[in-house]
Amino acid sequence: MRSPPPSHAAAPLLASLQRAPRPRILPAMERQGPESRKIILHTPEEFEPMRRAGQLAAACLDMITPHVVPGTTTGALDRRIHDWLLDHGATPATLGYRGYTKSSCISVNHVVCHGIPGERVLQDGDILNIDVTALLDGWHGDTSRMYAVGEVPKRAQLLMDVTHAAMMAGIAAVKPGATLGDVGHAIQALAERHRFSVVRDFCGHGLGRSFHAPPNVLHFGRPGEGPVLKPGMFFTIEPMINAGRPDVKVLEDGWTAVTRDRSLSAQFEHTVAVTETGVEIFTLSPAGYHKPPYPTG
Ligand code: MF3
Ligand code: CO
Ligand code: CO
């Protein structure tokens, strides 16, 4: 995910509109915010390579599932992901991205996102997010899921269930003519109904040939606000939901984001497209591994 612009970013536009003689009808692009100008509309032919990239990333998350067990390290999981992606003709898009040196992000318990795989040993009761971006034939498939190590506390399971449901509610709001505010609102409403909180400091993003592109996909919002969705837009929906307060801080390593109150955090991520009639999910699990608990044995 990326950090959204500061919330006052829209202020200069608003101020200039208020000073200028007010046009009765704003040009469509200004109504939708300056960002909508830069959102790429992909052709039907460009869906096919994105399907392949998305399916490979999702299959990689399937592959790692039986390896998420007590006693393994996050670094060992990352090495498996690295080797598997290369074996399948892809590269991990995170490797070397803005100085990041791993093939995945692995975020355990109160880590919100961008956990750096390393020597951390997984223990019974941990919950973790594994986030993989496959770069295949020039296209990015970006997806993440939660995993449970052994038996996890009831509240941890509920947080994962609600976070998955919130992501799916956001996806269900995607169709031509809807707005990103509709998507964010659907996610926020579901999370807050359960008295959980939506992280504000990271958001989903456009992608395709680029890893991170416009638009910013906020996981909160108001119906009808934000850019209007059009067929051919590709973006991620990747809500981070906290059991406690929404506030996060980034550790000294410059990447690891944690909850300030050390409450548990969960996240799921899909790469999706706006189609003529609704939405296509590029990163559905080929194995049917949607959320924990996953079948074992
Ligand atoms: N895959 C993450 C996302 O969802 C991005 C990770 S960038 C990294 O956008 F450098 F932290 F790996
Ligand atoms: Co992403
Ligand atoms: Co990701």
The atom number, within ligand 1, closest to the CA of 97 reads 10
Residue 292: pLDDT over 90:
yes
Q: Is the CB of 82 under 6 A from ligand 1?
A: no
- The pLDDT value recorded for residue 36 is 64
- % of the chain beyond a pLDDT of 70: 87
Alpha-carbon span 210 to 236, nearest angstrom? 12
Ligand 2 centroid, distance to 197 Cα (angstroms): 19
Q: What tens digit of pLDDT does each residue of 68-120 get?
A: 999 999 999 999 999 999 999 999 999 999 999 999 999 999 999 999 999 99
Given ligand 1 and candidates 1, 111, 205, 283, which is best to mutate, with the most ligand atoms within 8 Å of its CB?
1
CA-131 nearest atom, ligand 1: 1
Q: Which ligand is nearest to the CA of 93?
A: 1
**Which residue is closest in CA terms to ligand 1's atom 3?**
1
What tokens were used for 255? 């990447």
Phi first, then psi: what are they for 201, rounded to 5°? -85, -5
pTM of the model: 0.91
**Residue nearest ligand 1's atom 5 by CA:** 1
| Residue 2 vs residue 268, higher pLDDT | 268
Ligand nearest 96 Cα, by number? 1
- Domains of the chain, first to last: 34-281 (3.90.230.10)
Torsion of CA 203, 104, 54, 163, to 10 degrees: -50
Decide if pLDDT at 6 tops 50.
no
Cα–Cα distance for residue pair 293/297, rounded to 1 Å = 12
Q: Is the Cβ atom of 291 under 6 angstroms away from ligand 1?
A: no
Ligand 1 centroid to Cα of residue 202, in Å, is 11
Return the residue matching tokens 């956001």. 170
Q: Is the CB of 269 under 6 A from ligand 1?
A: yes
Q: Name the residue among 265, 267, 235 with its Cα closest to residue 130.
A: 267
What residue owns the CA closest to ligand 1's atom 4?
Answer: 1
- Residue among 74, 106, 111, 131 whose CB has most ligand 1 atoms within 8 A, to mutate: 131
- 78 pocket-lining for ligand 1 (C-beta < 6 Å): no
Q: Is the minimum distance from the CB of 238 to ligand 1 under 6 angstroms?
A: yes
Tens of pLDDT, residues 225-269 = 999 999 999 999 999 999 999 999 999 999 999 999 999 999 999
Would you state the pLDDT for residue 1? Answer: 67
34: how many CB neighbours lie within 10 A of its CB? 14
